[in-house]
Structure formats: C-alpha cells, structure tokens
Amino acid sequence: MRLISLRSDGTVHRRWSAAEPGRFGGWWIPPGTPVEDDGGSWSSPYPVAAIAWPKAWFQVFVLLKPDSTDYYVNICTPPCIGADVVWIDLDLDVRVEGGRVWVADEDEFQMRSRGYPRAWCTAAQQAVVDVQHAVKFGAHPFRPSYADALRAEWMLRSRPGRTVLR
C-alpha cells in the first residue's frame, strides 16, 4: 500500500511506496523505506507509525526513534482511504520533538493558501489548534503509553522468523 501526499494542484508532494497495515489502525513505515518527495528521496532509520482518520484535517507520524518518540503532524485534507491513502498537504506542520512543540512552514501556508478554498484554510488553522491542545493534554496519539504500545507492536512484528500477513 502507498501513502500519497499531493499538492493542491494534484502533483505529488511525497510518496511512501511500502506502507504496511498495523494493528493500531494505521500504517507502518519500516526503517529504510524510501520516501519520494519533490526534491528526491530519503528514508528514516527507525520505524514510523502513520495514523490518519477519515474526517480529520491532520495525520500523525509517530517517529519511534531508538531513545525517544517524536511526532510530525501534517495538516492536510481528510484522506481518501482505499487501496492507497491519499491526501492534499496544506503546508502547515506541527512538530513535537524533545518535548518542544512548534508550528512549521507557516510561511509556505501563507503563500500557498491564497489558492486554497476558504474552508480549507479555516479547517487547517483549527487543526493546528486541535493538535496543539491534544499534545498539551497528552491525548491520543500523544500519550507516552500509546508510543510504548506501538514500540511493543513493532518489536513483535519485526522479530526474526516472524511471518507478516499482508
């Protein structure tokens, strides 16, 4: 299955070509999985759990680093979930690293949002507020216990000799 992030004009922004369903209701991006973007390709050396909800204007990437858990939250249109998961990236991101929370790419949003429908802009700005609130209060999926459960699932999944059903 692929996770596909589009720009508002329909061009590909990012593409994860090897996401695997997880028991947690999202998708695993295994370490080393190539991520194609509009500037080339890169990968993460650690597992990433991607979570998206059908009506939410954001998605969460839980970065399961060896010694910490960080979060990269894309503010985006609600995803179309089928054979692939596809959404339109709205440029804003909420980053949570080392306990610090900040909004990234506000300048890109200001520039590109002139071409977005007004409803998208309103929803994007509200999504930022909602995510910041969820992080502040440790709501799902920003609870440490949830990250611990994801780590446990990944460890079970990645055990040598384990067969993963797809």
Interval 126-152: pLDDT, tens: 999 999 999 999 999 999 999 999 999
**The pairing of beta strand 20-21 with beta strand 3-6:** unpaired
Give the DSSP letter string of 128-165. Answer: HHHHHHHHHTT-TTS-HHHHHHHHHHHHHHTSTTPPPP
Interval 30-80: pLDDT, tens: 999 999 987 789 999 999 999 999 999 999 999 999 999 999 999 999 999
The structural domains of the chain, with segments of one domain joined by +, span 3-153
Q: What is the pLDDT of residue 165?
A: 45
Q: Which CATH superfamily is domain 3-153 in?
A: FomD-like (2.40.380.10)
